[in-house]
Structure 1
């Protein structure tokens, strides 16, 4: 991912939240998400990056239609030797086209090549579609849950694990 990709990545991410989390999070919160603010956060994170977080984009003929990010697993604020998939989003018009699978497989490949033994990810407990996607890719819930609250509404996350 480059700085020039940040606007499109933010668009994909915000629309992805608005689509995937409808009914799981308060609608006013989802409606208020700002692509401009998200793009600026992406640019700032990319500028400050120490290289430990890998941002991948899926594109064809200059059209960007997916993004993922992975890096060290975070146990509270401490990075561990394991890997974590931080995010994966695909243009909502391209769901089911294999883009998410390709991004996930590339993250898994890179983490395996880097010598990580395990890869974790967190997913909203109620996000049935995403959970099935990760399970098809060999991830399994490991029993850990995190409370997550959005505008006073509980939207718990569950942790998934895959041995590499």
Structure 2
């Protein structure tokens, strides 16, 4: 297995694996359109980086991430947006290998840690992350601020 930075020609495989991830998480199907992946991962206005696991010429998994900086702690972190492994390849160590490569990337960038969100009902991923040494940050809560119309105060 080879871990490498994703290339433009990997966008369709990343899109397909992201559909499998959405299905696993009971999220809506994002569709097969790889346009947003091409534009935001490989275009002029780049929003993310991605590592892929390639085995026998096939993309077996990916780790999609971006940089994060906190001014109040002066700390750099990597934010792991998505970790996906092909359905038929789960349990083969692909996810662990991708995370190890991401740890090396984070270290090379001088990052303090890799942070991520975990759906509360995703017990499979929770077991995986705990097995590789991830710990729950008991000091933080995840919130989301909707973009668009601001709700009126009660």
- TM-score, structure 2 as length reference: 0.77
Q: How many residues align?
A: 135
Q: How far, CA to CA, are the matches of 1:9 and 1:86 in structure 2?
A: 13
Larger Rg: 2
Secondary structure, counterpart of 2:92 in structure 1: coil
Runs of 5+ in structure 1 lacking a partner? Answer: 149-164
Report the RMSD for the aligned CA atoms in angstroms. Answer: 2.4
Please identify runs of 4+ aligned residues in structure 1 that moved more than 3 A.
none
Give 1 or 2: higher strand fraction.
Answer: 1
How far did residue 61 of structure 1 move?
A: 2.5
Deviation for aligned residue 1:9 = 0.7
Tell me the TM-score normalised to structure 1 length.
0.73
Unpaired segments ≥5 residues, structure 2: 1-5, 145-154
- CA separation of 1:71/1:35 partners in 2, compared to 1, >3 Å: closer, same or farther? same
Match of 2:49 among 47, 54, 70: 54
Question: Quick one: which of 32, 35, 58 aligns to 2:32?
Answer: 35
Q: Distance in 2 between the 1:103 and 1:11 partners?
A: 18
